[in-house]
Structure 1
């Protein structure tokens, strides 16, 4: 799977991985490992130290050393993992995720300020309807490219979801699809417009509508990076839901 930073034409810099340390201040192996940690967090979102260590083949002590350095440098932040239902003894595991500053250095927020300013101007001059129209127009090209990439997926819902995840990954969203008891789940571990969408959720809503049309059923957005979550999560119900006209029904989270 390609990582989002590579899709922008470059890899995360050693400054990001090692925390902007002067050249030669950290062993090359440490820089390389922290670069791998950064790329894994960019792809998978917030992850426990144990999961990171297992994915990278590092001992608990080794992954902790790298995470401690990245915490001190401001490249990652830690929070307690939410545990639903009964929890055993001991404190919940901590989740480690990239900070906004780290994502910026990965090249994930280029032109955010200009884009936000442009949308504010559109909102002032044309109102919320104009912003919604702009968002719909912006995702039209994305929808066309993803639809083309999904031509061989057929009508099987899981197959379409997996094909869509692959298409979105190629667009820089670092996406994956999984099957769950109630249907499927599409996760996007990177959002190229997260900071802009935080102020203008119409972008998320337009994207959710695209996902609904591409998989051929209604979907429900459960979490978004723009809303402060670690990953954009979209639930794809097992049974298609349609309105009275027979068109797919799109459900989006409206809390702002």
Structure 2
């Protein structure tokens, strides 16, 4: 069995455990029409990856047997529609008051992020603050790169937008991100390209204050 088939079989095992609940190696072997030895090999890999766990079931007769179940970590492997729900809720709020509440929600989110991260900027020169901001955004899934530009400022590029579905519909998301960057860095910041507006990336031009 090649690597692609191995991966496919493990996906089927995960799906069976998701739809049928806890199963034994014997149960899985019957479902998959493969040997118990092959099932154990796949289960060992899934246990190593933290996606499957086992519990011992004692029987009235015979040896105890292991039942296998999904771990909470496996939940991220299955389809989600968080953004669909988020968009529905935001659109309902927008319909209520023309968008005022939606704007307040994004502003509150910006203030919350500012309180969370502003301490990481204290006492740092601008270059270090930009590096810190890039790390913050990378941890959020934005796939950031940055560089110093000839005028002494910086350019920060976001190659991915984890909230693209929301940002494409509600420009407040992009406005609050820009304001967050300005507040965290304490210098003028301009967005010259935006993924939500058809750009290939989000590009931020960061100006250096004369004092720095």
One fold, TM greater than 0.5? yes
TM-score, normalised to structure 1, is: 0.48
Using the alignment, how far apart are the partners of 1:236 and 1:142 within structure 2? 19
The answer to whether the 8 Å contact 1:222/1:233 transfers is: yes
Residue 161 of structure 1 corresponds to: 130
Using the alignment, how far apart are the partners of 2:170 and 2:108 within structure 1? 15
What's the CA shift string for 1:86-129, capped at 9, x where partnerless? xxxxxxxxxxxxxxxxxxx999x851111111111111112232
Residue 33 of structure 2 corresponds to: none
Residue 175 of structure 1 corresponds to: 144
What's the CA shift string for 1:57-101, capped at 9, x where partnerless? xxxxxxxxxxxxxxxxxxxxxxxxxxxxxxxxxxxxxxxxxxxxx
Give the number of the structure whose alpha-carbon radius of gyration is greater.
Answer: 2
Relative distance call for 1:25 and 1:230 in structure 2 (3 A) is: farther
Report how many residues are paired: 139
In structure 1, which of residues 149, 153, 156 is the aligned counterpart of residue 120 of structure 2?
Answer: 149
The answer to whether the 8 Å contact 1:149/1:167 transfers is: no
Unaligned runs of 5+ in 2: 8-75
Residue 188 of structure 2 corresponds to: 218
How far the C-alpha of 1:150 sits from its partner, in A, is 3.0
| Poorly superposed stretches of 4+, deviation over 4 Å | none
Q: Which moved more, 1:210-219 or 1:227-236?
A: 227-236
Give runs of aligned pairs for residues 1-256 of structure 1, distance below 5 A: 23-24=4-5, 110-151=81-122, 154=124, 156-182=125-151, 183-239=153-209
The answer to whether the 8 Å contact 1:166/1:176 transfers is: no
Structure with more of its chain in helix, by fraction:
2
Relative distance call for 1:106 and 1:146 in structure 2 (3 A) is: farther
The answer to whether the 8 Å contact 2:187/2:208 transfers is: no
Relative distance call for 1:147 and 1:106 in structure 2 (3 A) is: farther
Using the alignment, how far apart are the partners of 2:85 and 2:131 within structure 1? 33
Relative distance call for 1:145 and 1:175 in structure 2 (3 A) is: farther
What's the CA shift string for 1:132-157, capped at 9, x where partnerless? 11111123332233223334x51x22
Using the alignment, how far apart are the partners of 1:213 and 1:161 within structure 2? 12
* Helix, strand or coil at the partner of 1:226: helix
The answer to whether the 8 Å contact 2:193/2:202 transfers is: yes
Relative distance call for 1:148 and 1:171 in structure 2 (3 A) is: farther
TM-score, normalised to structure 2, is: 0.57
